[in-house]
Chains A and B, each alone.
Chain A
Amino acid sequence: MIAIETVNLCAYYGQKKVINNVNLKIPKNVVFAIMGPSGCGKSTLLRSFNRLLELNPNARVEGDVKLYGKSVYDMSPIEVRRKIGMVFQHPNPFPHMSIFDNVALGLKLNGLVKSKKELHKTVKWALRKAALWDEVKDRIHEPASALSGGQQQRLCIARTLAVKPEVLLMDEPTASLDPVAMEKIEDLINKLREEYTIVIVTHSSAQAARVSDYVAFLYLGELVEVGKTEKVFEKPKSELTKRYLMGRVG
């Protein structure tokens, strides 16, 4: 089953075309990595999936993105973003809120829980899912800004999981973290892969090799190659991919 499919997808900032005719099929419940050098359009591509690109008034999209066969442009952006959650390059928990409130926010404001008890239960569930509960259970009401970078990133994952998305977009989630924190996030991705479709953007081919089932190589806004991760890494079809994997591109 295909979770996300792009059809002749192009994206522009003003006149500048940064995504050029991308056709991708992302199967359900896999970890799908999008790799490529800096500036090749990974973040832009990812943000077109959940229509977050629309926050930028200069951005424009052509073609289509389908979620389980249905165009995301036929849904409300609200609905799309609830089904397709996102984690960002820089950990961005709301600094004026406690750890608890960060996770509770989406539940409360989207009216997803009926009682205080359910709210607490779901927040705890999400923090457990994000492998953060044990570290914060005694200081759940402290400000989120007091956490370390890696913990903040897992808090952001918990915040996203709390509203029960089906797809998880991760835009270089470990780019600003130290190696230990990065390993924790990668372990977490491994645990979440059974229940979610995860699309992870990375500029590190090593990370793509470690975490993903499928990998797509994006270069200057074009999809160069896509396939099962082992296959692409063992026998890349394109000369460009081969050179990228050997560290000669970007």
Chain B
Amino acid sequence: MPRDFKEKFFLFGIAIIAVLTILPLFHIIYSVVVEGLPVLLKGGFKFLFGTLAPPGDGLGGIGPAILGTFILTFLASLIGLPIAVMTGVYAAEYPESIFGRLARVLLTIMMEFPTILVGLFVMQILVIPMGRYSAIAGALALAIVMMPYVTVYTEEALKSIPFMYREAAFGLGLTRFKVVFRVLARMAKKGIVTGMLIGMAKVAGETAPLLFTAGGANRIYFAGVDRPVGAISLLIYNLVQQPYENYHEIAWGASLVLMLIFLAIFLPLRLSLKEVKL
């Protein structure tokens, strides 16, 4: 076989494999839009703000689930982001310390950890003692899922700053705290914020950690952090298991909403964040 032909054949093969790997992604987006958009259009505003319809009777709305997803993501961020960023900063600043090394090992484990086990863990420490599902339990489970991503991104972003900037900052007679938080962390802002958004986007769509923690609520809106709360992912999970036609429709509509929220977190990441030239 001539070499030229072999090369072309090889490239062609790679192209096919590349297309095959992204095909499922496009198929998901395609079917979510095709199935979900008509539901959204038919349901209108009521679909976004209303409460769940009875079985077999119209579309109603998924308002409590949407609000729940926002509340859970917000609370999880409130708990998870500060701890995760601090841990990332610590691991970057003191890589040789016991805590720094421990953090790195634990994080790699946590990243691969089955999220359903996180849900079980939070159920044990929060749901059972409290005697009920709650927004705070769901948020804690999501925070635990979120933290390793944010920590790793923070650590990597700080570590990628060239040593000469660290020298410049220390050379001005700044304390270590100020060097890290007032100079380097801001320099690494893009990486840190990327990590935060990836963490948030990840947990916004999570189902497993919420199964035994958030409880779900589809007919009432938010009732307090110590009360059960809905989530879009939980709602989809529950609805597709039901035998009712209208519930399947609602699930498609909810899927589209979830995908849009996901994109809403990711797009600013790509568009508005100013790149720092190093």
A residues bordering B, Cβ < 8 Å?
50, 52, 55, 57, 78-82, 85-86, 88, 90, 92-96, 105-106, 109-110, 143, 145, 156, 159-160, 163
Q: A160-B171, A163-B173 are in contact. Are A88 and B164 (CB under 8 A)?
A: yes
Judge whether B278 and A95 touch: CB under 8 Å: yes
Q: A78-B175, A81-B170 are in contact. Are A94 and B182 (CB under 8 A)?
A: no
Min distance, Cβ A141 to any Cβ of chain B, angstroms: 15
Instruction: Answer yes or no: B45 CB below 8 A from chain A CBs.
Output: no
Judge whether A163 and B186 touch: CB under 8 Å: no
Judge whether B174 and A109 touch: CB under 8 Å: yes
Min distance, Cβ B171 to any Cβ of chain A, angstroms: 4
Judge whether A55 and B174 touch: CB under 8 Å: no
Judge whether A50 and B276 touch: CB under 8 Å: no
Residues of chain A contacted by B187 (CB below 8 angstroms): 94-96
Judge whether A105 and B172 touch: CB under 8 Å: yes
Instruction: Answer yes or no: B269 CB below 8 A from chain A CBs.
Output: no
Q: A95-B187, A96-B186, A145-B277 are in contact. Are A90 and B164 (CB under 8 A)?
A: yes
Most buried by A among B168, B174, B178, B276: B168
Judge whether B277 and A95 touch: CB under 8 Å: yes
A96 to B185, CA, bound (A): 11
In the complex, which residues 253-278 of chain B have their Cβ closer than 8 Å to any Cβ of chain A? 276-278
Give me 11 other A-B pairs in contact (C-beta within 8 A), A88-B167, A88-B168, A163-B173 excluded: A52-B170, A55-B163, A55-B166, A55-B170, A80-B173, A90-B164, A92-B165, A94-B165, A105-B182, A106-B172, A110-B174
Min distance, Cβ A169 to any Cβ of chain B, angstroms: 9
Number of interface residues of B (CB under 8 A): 24
Contact partner of A95 among B169, B174, B276, CB < 8 A? B276
Instruction: Answer yes or no: B183 CB below 8 A from chain A CBs.
Output: yes
Q: A57-B96, A95-B187, A95-B277 are in contact. Are A106 and B167 (CB under 8 A)?
A: no
6 closest A-B pairs by beta carbon, nearest first, are A82-B173, A106-B172, A81-B173, A86-B171, A92-B164, A96-B276
B residues bordering A, Cβ < 8 Å?
96, 162-175, 178, 182-183, 186-187, 189, 276-278
Judge whether B278 and A52 touch: CB under 8 Å: no
A217 to B276, CA, bound (A): 40
Min distance, Cβ A58 to any Cβ of chain B, angstroms: 11
Contact partner of B172 among A79, A96, A110, CB < 8 A? A110
Min distance, Cβ A138 to any Cβ of chain B, angstroms: 22
> Which residue of chain A has the shortest Cβ distance to B182 in the bound complex?
A109
Min distance, Cβ A105 to any Cβ of chain B, angstroms: 7
Min distance, Cβ B191 to any Cβ of chain A, angstroms: 12
Residues of chain A contacted by B165 (CB below 8 angstroms): 92, 94
> Which residue of chain B has the shortest Cβ distance to A80 in the bound complex?
B173
Most buried by B among A85, A88, A96: A96
Residues of chain B contacted by A110 (CB below 8 angstroms): 172-174
A203 to B235, CA, bound (A): 70
Residues of chain B contacted by A81 (CB below 8 angstroms): 170-173
A49 to B175, CA, bound (A): 18
A94 to B175, CA, bound (A): 17
Judge whether A92 and B168 touch: CB under 8 Å: yes
Min distance, Cβ B117 to any Cβ of chain A, angstroms: 37
Judge whether B96 and A106 touch: CB under 8 Å: no
A55 to B163, CA, bound (A): 10
Min distance, Cβ A97 to any Cβ of chain B, angstroms: 8
Min distance, Cβ B22 to any Cβ of chain A, angstroms: 34
Min distance, Cβ A3 to any Cβ of chain B, angstroms: 17
A143 to B278, CA, bound (A): 12
Q: A57-B96, A105-B183, A109-B178 are in contact. Are A94 and B171 (CB under 8 A)?
A: no
14 A-B pairs within 8 Å (CB atoms) are namely A52-B171, A79-B173, A81-B170, A81-B172, A85-B171, A88-B171, A92-B162, A94-B168, A94-B183, A96-B276, A106-B174, A110-B172, A163-B172, A163-B173
